[in-house]
Chain A
């Protein structure tokens, strides 16, 4: 800017004589500067795009495999003497046979099933063969048998997961080279796995259970799923929306339409802007002190999580809502007041409906940022291992322990079994999908209903 004016003054007389079509040195410099600036801009965009691309590529290349899983199908004879030693089919007595008993039954069943199918296990020992069966399978089978004791004595087909290392072999995570140095899997086991896949005992298919199963311990990464995390996040988003909308809208309407302009409202305004910039972990500390230690709400519950996230998103939503209300032209208010509407009628009949799309867009974007938040949940006990689904929303499920999607990403990323890396990235994909859907809804709402004056 200064360059141009300074140059223009000194070069003034020359320029008058030169043609506009021939570039003088000054003009060339200015044009070059503009070209350079455009290139900087393109470079900046390219850098951000390539970073985004690298990030997405890593996540998807690591995570897509979480949606496919190797299953092991075999015939199992449910030996009544082993599973119900008392022989009375009473639930309490059958409960005494633990998952360890079922594990042994399945191990023997797999061995005899392999013999029946004529597959030579070769160098693979019995112990190594039983390492094919996920530790999740006996638990599932036990639940089925206890729920339905008539199954005892029958031969049924049991389909369960194969363990993480076998699954990793079919996904390329485990190779014969790594198996040579890996004490958890042998090359012989991998060769057997190939045979079993040909025989149709091992199958690879889409893994719905990744979305519905609960979290699993470090010993069974193959069974770990996002079920509780998705429910927990859904409960929290629902509650945050219920809490944040009335409070945010009421505060914004008052500040924008009714509050007198004085030092107090200025102070409040500055505070709201400041609160929007407070790091989220601070809200976690606040939530621990107020909601858990003082109000005695249950730990790890979506209710407390939602209250904390409400506090966190409230300032952002108030700011967005006020902007939406301010965007409604004063002439509409004047017209309403002019034909005798009260101030409140003006607000609720005219201003609020016209501002609604903007408010909803702001709210959805606020919810989307709350959905990705982990730090405040750390302090209120939601970064935890939870193995039981919370009940339905009407049966107090919002007070029972749950986790959240970003929390699951974090806790899987720190597990020791390499199979959890894939699941962690898979969870990121699910989280990104939710964020994408919410943002699309926000954009659609804005496009369809926003009015411009």
Chain B
């Protein structure tokens, strides 16, 4: 019996080595923000085309791009989803591993919203309020002091007298980048802290000083009033459920699926929605991308069709299922469609 089992095991390994060369479905990996959009398209693609539905993995933008840049061949992925733009370092890795040209597809925008418990107080934020709530050091009477604010009303009387607790995205999130750039940094400038940081910044030239001031701005307080959440939005929601005073950071699509539990805060007086983000009124948003290996386009069956289907009006258009799920559709979608049809690889980063 043992002999038979051994033989069959060996036979199976031999068999698999032969079959490893072919692959008939598209493999996708990357950002967990893009993951739901990607699965919606993959599912519809499997239903409407004769190709099998692509296999989609999450795991993070950076990890996905790194995986894409590992090389070419059927046992490497075809597409990397990404909620931030590819970096020069990724492109260098790609080049070093012979990946060749990469097509950059921007298919829409994702809004980032602040929300609190649905039965709690209403919040109307400006970036400055959030900066005062979470920064390590704030400007007070023209000087930089350590942040000791305990309640929202202490720095803005329009906000409720409620204990400050902000659930920020963790540093490994793609969301954190936008959060730092579009909320914290703007708030830093709004409250005047940036100028104070710049005045005392040390550096060889103006750019170095600005970088130093930016770095000071994005240092968040560590006394427990700001909590970095490294998990998914579901974790933020669970934390918010446990502490009703908390304000959490979510993606627009997550909020739209949980409006019965969350109350969204306005930013600069604008309520976040796909419309206000598309028009640019609501400031905190970021583009979503996926990157395609052009070398795989004619090798993996269905890859070209999948990419075209993803950016088609039926999917990524303003009335498509992705928009219904919370994607802010890209006004320049037509240009993207033409680019995908021509298989134009991305231009070098500035």
Contacts and interface: CB of A to CB of B under 8 A. Distances in A.
A399 B43 contact: no
B16 A217 contact: no
A298 B2 contact: no
A390 to B, nearest CB: 10
Interface in A399-453: 399, 401, 411, 413-418
Nearest to B50: A95
Contacts of A80: none
A386 B9 CA distance: 26
Nearest to A175: B260
Contact of B260 (A179, A385, A398, A413): A179
A149 B164 CA distance: 63
Given A297-B75, A413-B234, A414-B232, A217 B36 contact: yes
Nearest to A348: B2
Given A296-B20, A388-B53, A414-B234, A99 B47 contact: yes
A396 B19 contact: yes
Given A219-B40, A249-B2, A184 B256 contact: yes
A182 B259 contact: yes
A383 B314 contact: no
A295 B258 CA distance: 44
A142 B48 CA distance: 9
B277 to A, nearest CB: 16
A98 interface: yes
A198 B256 CA distance: 30
Interface in B31-74: 32, 35-36, 38-40, 42-44, 46-48, 50, 52-53, 55-59, 70, 73-74
Contacts of A383: 57-59
Interface in A167-194: 174, 178-179, 181-184
Nearest to B324: A219
Given A399-B16, A416-B257, A384 B57 contact: yes
B55 A386 contact: yes
Given A183-B259, A297-B20, A299-B75, A398 B12 contact: yes
B47 A142 contact: yes
Interface stretch (B22-30, B125-133, B190-198, B290-298): B22-30
Interface in B252-305: 253-254, 256-261
A139 B53 CA distance: 13
A99 B40 contact: no
Interface string B9-23: 100100111011101
Interface residue range, chain B: 35 or more
A370 B350 CA distance: 49
Given A178-B260, A181-B118, A219-B325, A385 B12 contact: no
Nearest to B73: A296
A224 to B, nearest CB: 10
B6 A99 contact: no
A98 B46 CA distance: 11
B53 A387 contact: yes
Contacts of B260: 174, 178-179, 181-182
Contact of A298 (B5, B23, B50): B23
A60 interface: no
Contacts, number: 146
A416 B36 contact: yes
A174 B253 CA distance: 19
Contacts of A217: 36, 39-40, 42-43
A100 B233 CA distance: 30
Contacts of A139: 47
B16 A297 contact: yes
Contacts of B20: 295-298, 399
Contacts of B74: 298
Given A181-B118, A246-B5, A385-B42, A416 B253 contact: yes
Interface stretch (A19-27, A237-245, A276-284): A237-245
A368 interface: no
B58 A98 contact: no
B171 interface: no
Q: Which of B16, B17, B29, B52 has the most CB of A within 10 A?
A: B16
Contact of B39 (A179, A295, A385, A414): A385
A303 B259 contact: no
Interface residues of A, number: 56
Nearest to A241: B5
Contacts of A299: 27, 55, 75, 77
A305 interface: no
B318 to A, nearest CB: 15
A381 interface: yes
A293 B74 CA distance: 11
A242 B43 contact: no
B257 A418 contact: yes
A246 B9 contact: yes
B8 interface: yes
Interface in A215-236: 216-220
Given A184-B257, A418-B258, A239 B12 contact: yes
Given A142-B47, A298-B75, A218 B39 contact: yes
A381 B27 contact: yes
A411 B70 CA distance: 25
A203 B324 CA distance: 27
Contacts of A387: 42-43, 46, 52-53
Contacts of A396: 15, 19
B99 to A, nearest CB: 15
B321 interface: yes
Contacts of B23: 298
Interface of B: 2, 5-6, 8-9, 12, 15-17, 19-21, 23, 25, 27, 29, 32, 35-36, 38-40, 42-44, 46-48, 50, 52-53, 55-59, 70, 73-75, 77, 118, 231-234, 251, 253-254, 256-261, 314, 321, 324-325
10 contacts: A99-B47, A181-B260, A245-B2, A246-B5, A292-B75, A295-B17, A295-B20, A385-B56, A387-B43, A418-B258
* 7 tightest A-B CB contacts, nearest first: A387-B53, A182-B260, A178-B260, A385-B56, A218-B36, A217-B39, A384-B57
